[in-house]
Structures are given as C-alpha cells and as structure tokens.
Structure 1
Amino acid sequence: MNSSRERVLARVRRALADVPREERPRDHRVERGYLRAHGERTVEETTALLAENLADYRAVVHRTRASGLPDLIARLLERHGSRSVLVPPGLPAPWTAACHATRVDDLAASTPHELDAVDSVVTGCAVAIAETGTLVLDGGPGQGRRRITLVPDHHICVVRVPEQVVDSVPLALERLDPTRPLTWISGPSATSDIELDRVEGVHGPRTLEVVLVEADPAGATDENP
C-alpha cells in the first residue's frame, strides 16, 4: 500500500501534468479572494464585538468619554492597590493627571527586577482587532518598550474608539509597519499544564484592563498616544 506521502505526491504530479516545464510559479497571478472581514457591522457593533471578545479572553473592559478617562485610570490604579505606575514617553499627560501613584518613567537602563517592582503600567495602543479581541502595540508614542507591558503584573491599555478599532486582522495589518516591534495581546498572560489547569501571569501581566475611550460630544481627546 502506498504511503500517505506517496499519495500526496501523486496528486501533485497529476495536478501538474498539463503545466509546461518552462512555466514558473510567478508567471500567472493567483486570485486570492479572501474575506477581509466577516460580515458588515456598524461602528458600535464593531466596538461591542471587540469588548465581547476581550472579555472572553478575561480582560476587564471599561468604556468612558475622554473627559472621564483620567478619573477612571486613577480609580483602576487605586482599586488594584498600585503604589507605582510605569508611564511610557508620549503618553498624554492628562491620562494620569488624577493618579496618586508614583510615576515611573520608561528607561532603557531599567532592569527586569526594577520593572517587576512596578505595580502597574498604562499605555495606549496602535490598533485593536474586534474579531479576535486583540490589542496590538508597536512601540509608538504612548506605548513604550515591549518589555514594560510584559513584566509588570497589571496593564491598563487605552484604545481610542472608533479610530483605533478595526474589524479584522487583514485590516489591522494595513495599519501596521512590520519593521516595528509588534506586540499582540489577547487577554492577560496565561498558560496551562498537561492537565489544562490555567495559570495566569506567567509570561506577562496577570491582569489586563482595557479602556475604550470615545471623544466627548464637543470634540476629540486632547492628545493622541
């Protein structure tokens, strides 16, 4: 009996039987009519789907207006018992203006031990994907170095709605630069052992809180991350 490998190769040979030997793969363009998003949604439906999928990954989701963002972040830090908060360069100053926790700057010289001693980190993001409940950070202003969102135990990530929210991964990729340090986050860090017992906080934050912030009716947020 032929092996599985031999059967597969035989099918390939039959499929290529009428292809001229001189023809190369790039000689003919292959149409790839992939779906770019699954269905059509309103802005509110897309945002609701993002919130639902984030929560499904055990992220804690909050919604607020721009004017309420500073107080909300301050409450989240206080509720977590945070005495220190890491703030990346470029994070809009008003976001943490109401916080009583000690601000820690994102410094290249910071050691993993020093970062581990920080209670929380607040960042913006580059884009959020509704269909997968994924946040993508690219190290831009307001996001800081990748490690600051991997070492501290508590991460608050602010997403501007609707401008930073897209339906799907293909639409997100259009906005991202593959040469930048991309960090894809779907919920708090988690893993499981051979018996599928879930353990959170092994490779990153144990708690992920996502704030979906909309512009106030009279205008947009003061600064962009």
Structure 2
Amino acid sequence: MKSLRNKVAVITGATGGMGRALAESLANQGVKLVLTSTNEEKLAELRMQLEGKGASVIAVRADVTKEEQVRSLFEQVAQAYGHADMLVNLVGLSIPDKIEAMEEERYDLTMDVNVKGTFLCCKHFIPVVSPESGASIINIGSMAAKRANPNAPLYCTAKAAVNMFSQGLAMQVKEQNIRVTTLNPGGADTGFWGNRQVPREKFLLASDVADVILFVLASDTRIAFHEISFESFNAL
C-alpha cells in the first residue's frame, strides 16, 4: 500500500455519515482535504474538528447539481493546492415512493443528485489532476444498482447509471493516468435513511465503507478496480 501523505482529496457529501468517516480516516493518513456539502453549519463544524487534530482542510459549500458551484469548487482546489489527486463522490439521495405517486420534480432531483452531480464533479476534477501522479476517482453506487428494490426503483436506476458512467469514464481517462472505481455498498447505518424503519442490525457501518475507500485509494496505481460490491455479513 502506498502512502497518501500530502495527497489532495476532494470529498463530496462530506457531512454525511460516510463522508465524515472518510474525512477522519484520510486526515489520519496525512491527506490534504477539500470537503464540500450543502450544509454550511455541519461543514464548518467538521472542518474545525479536523483542523483541531492538525489536518489541512478546505471547506466549500457547493450544490453538486449546479455546474457553476462545482466549477468554483475546483477553482478553489487549484488555487489552494495547485492540483488534486483523489475525488470521492459520496453525495446520494433516495426518495422512496410508488411510481404512480412520484412527481416529475422528485424524479429530476433523484437523477440530478446521484447522476448529474457525479458527472459534474468528475468533469471539473479531471482538469486539475497532475497526470504524472496517478489520480483516482471513486463514485459511490449501491447494491441497489445490482438488486432491484421495490421501494425505490428510481434510486436503483440512478445508481445503475453511475455504474455505467464510471465504466465509460474509466476508458476515457486511462491515458491521463486516472483510475475510476465504483463502490456498491449495501445498506449502511447513517442518516441517509431519515426516520424510515430499516433493519440497521443488518447494515454496514459508515467506517466500513470508509475502510474500503481507503483500501482502493492506497493501492498501487497499476491496479484498476472497476467496481467493488459489498455488504454486511449479517445481510447475507
């Protein structure tokens, strides 16, 4: 495993359960962090927490579905660090409902957050990569992309799209020495579920997902991980 010290990582959805766990894990590895979320208060709190432990952190409020905000995010990355080495797209959204009850606006929001947001962040990350360093993009899919869920067919569709987008992108950016990996975790015990009644005893921990992300990022850049699907052993 290679050292990640002084590498620059951009994490979207940084204030969620997985985002916080990953930010803490990467900070412990000496990674320079660029954190983004739409929750400015939680973003500031996370930045202060990590800086208190000696981490180098930039926190930028950004809506990943808005291109101007994503462009500005990566301009700030370039200004602060000159380049970026890693992008982890953790932003995700599911709105469970019966299809006949689903308004068009909720369809658009599901696709925009999960698919468009991933596309825009990848688009603006690529120009700030140093080709000689070997960069990594990790897009978060879901086991729902592999196993249909009757409660959230739109979410399943969106995450399946993320998988296919990542596969095509990986072929495009290979010559730029950028790896692209999709992670498809099963259910994780985070705030993603809101007050929905779900079997949390069968779920992954946020730190489990962060561990898998860290494994991919710290692996030798000659290894291409196309996708990794995983879930809690208790879910089997």
Report the TM-score when normalising by structure 1: 0.36
Q: Which has the higher strand share?
A: 1
Q: Which has the higher helix share?
A: 2
Report the TM-score when normalising by structure 2: 0.34
Larger Rg: 1
Q: Which has the higher contact order (CA 8 A, sep 6+)?
A: 1
